[in-house]
Amino acid sequence: MQLFHSITPLQQTLAEHRRHGRRIAVVPTMGGLHAGHIALVDAARQHADIVVATIFVNPLQFSANEDLTRYPRTLDADRQKLEEAGCDLLFAPDVATLYPDGLKGLTHVHVPTVSEGLCGARRPGHFDGVSTVVSLIFHLILPDVAFFGEKDFQQLAVIRKMVRDLHFNIEIVGVPTVRNDDGLALSSRNDYLSHAESEMASLLYRTLQDLKIRLEEGALPDEAIRECLETLTAHGFKPDYLELRRTSDLGEVTQRTHDAILLVAAYLGTTRLIDNIRVALPVHA
């Protein structure tokens, strides 16, 4: 695997691959790689001749009180995992390479509607930071196809809309969430959990599974969701939100919505966990 920290040699290498007609995939990450990221690389290898992973802890998507400084930075270990997964190129720029004029006054990409509510409401500016850096990565790498995890379902919806609205000629592939044996969705932030918190964390997914069953059996969403929030709170979680949305665009569910998704964000200690599960709602005549 070739490692690049700067833009020009990366682009020269990619241009050479493109000249040979090779299909290029990108897997954007912030490092701290786990089996969920490797599943993205595996999927990318199925779809393309050349797989480029990026590792960049993007300051634009963290607000002042968030975990930018403590976010895991494990380049050597990440590099080895990518190498073993058969990744071809790794682009790991520093902040000055991607944002040479600094962050102040930087052009932003804002994707309305799907970025509002849920994590967008709790983390103001977060999705502008994500869509800005992802569009930058797309412009630099010019991939044919890009891979993102479904755990960050709202992020995936934001990127899909951005790609449609701005006519990026890039296929976006969502890859199913990878979980521990106990159901906890893998996340670089799981490293922050204490031993006791790790044992409790899987309750988040179990709660989603129970709620899914109840909703598919016809339970009233507001009431069932309120009860689940109470359960999570009783077990030490501080829920940010637990909401049922339309899968296609994260809009409000109506009586006619069948394909829905439950999305949750909750703190356990100082760690913010997110997860989601699809729900096939009974459709009322």
Q: Rule CB under 6 A: say whether 29 interacts with ligand PAF.
A: yes
Amino acid at 77: A
Question: Packing angle between helix 153-165 and helix 126-141, nearest 10 degrees?
Answer: 60
Of 155 and 190, nearer to ligand PAF (C-beta) is 155
Residues 43-82 as x/- pattern, contact with ligand PAF by CB under 6 A: ---------------x--x---------------------
Q: Rule CB under 6 A: say whether 90 interacts with ligand PAF.
A: no
Q: Which of 10, 30, 53, 98 binds ligand PAF (CB under 6 A)?
A: 30
Of 27 and 201, nearer to ligand PAF (C-beta) is 27
**Candidates 28-36, 68-76, 117-125, 190-198; binding stretch for ligand PAF (CB under 6 A):** 28-36
Of 3 and 68, nearer to ligand PAF (C-beta) is 68
Q: Rule CB under 6 A: say whether 130 interacts with ligand PAF.
A: yes
**Total of residues contacting ligand PAF (CB under 6 A):** 10
Output the smallest distance, CB 123 to ligand PAF, in A.
11
Residue at shortest CB range from ligand PAF: 28
Computed on alpha carbons and rounded to an integer, the radius of gyration of the chain in Å comes to 19
Q: Rule CB under 6 A: say whether 152 interacts with ligand PAF.
A: yes
Output the smallest distance, CB 19 to ligand PAF, in A.
28
Q: Rule CB under 6 A: say whether 28 interacts with ligand PAF.
A: yes
CA-to-CA distance for 121 and 196, rounded, in angstroms?
29
CA-to-CA distance for 154 and 247, rounded, in angstroms?
10
CA-to-CA distance for 140 and 168, rounded, in angstroms?
12
**Residue 221, burial from CB neighbour count under 10 angstroms (0-12, 13-18, 19+):** middle
**Candidates 86-94, 114-122, 128-136, 246-254; binding stretch for ligand PAF (CB under 6 A):** 128-136
Which of the residues 37, 126, 139, 167 is marked catalytic?
37
CA-to-CA distance for 81 and 63, rounded, in angstroms?
29
CA-to-CA distance for 280 and 213, rounded, in angstroms?
9
SS3 3: strand
Token pair of 73 as six digits: 């930075």
**Candidates 79-87, 130-138, 164-172, 175-183; binding stretch for ligand PAF (CB under 6 A):** 130-138
CA-to-CA distance for 132 and 9, rounded, in angstroms?
22
Q: Rule CB under 6 A: say whether 274 interacts with ligand PAF.
A: no
Per DSSP bridges, beta strands 259-268 and 271-280 are antiparallel
Q: Are 77 and 85 in contact (CB under 8 A)?
A: no
**Candidates 22-30, 167-175, 192-200, 232-240; binding stretch for ligand PAF (CB under 6 A):** 22-30
- Residue 110 is among the residues annotated as catalytic for this protein: no
CA-to-CA distance for 198 and 151, rounded, in angstroms?
18
Q: Are 153 and 197 in contact (CB under 8 A)?
A: no
Residue with tokens 């992973």: 53
**Candidates 27-35, 98-106, 206-214, 276-284; binding stretch for ligand PAF (CB under 6 A):** 27-35
| Other CB atoms within 10 A of residue 108 CB | 12
Q: Rule CB under 6 A: say whether 145 interacts with ligand PAF.
A: no
Chain residues in the site for ligand PAF (CB under 6 A): 28-30, 58, 61, 130, 133-134, 152, 155
Catalytic machinery residues: 37
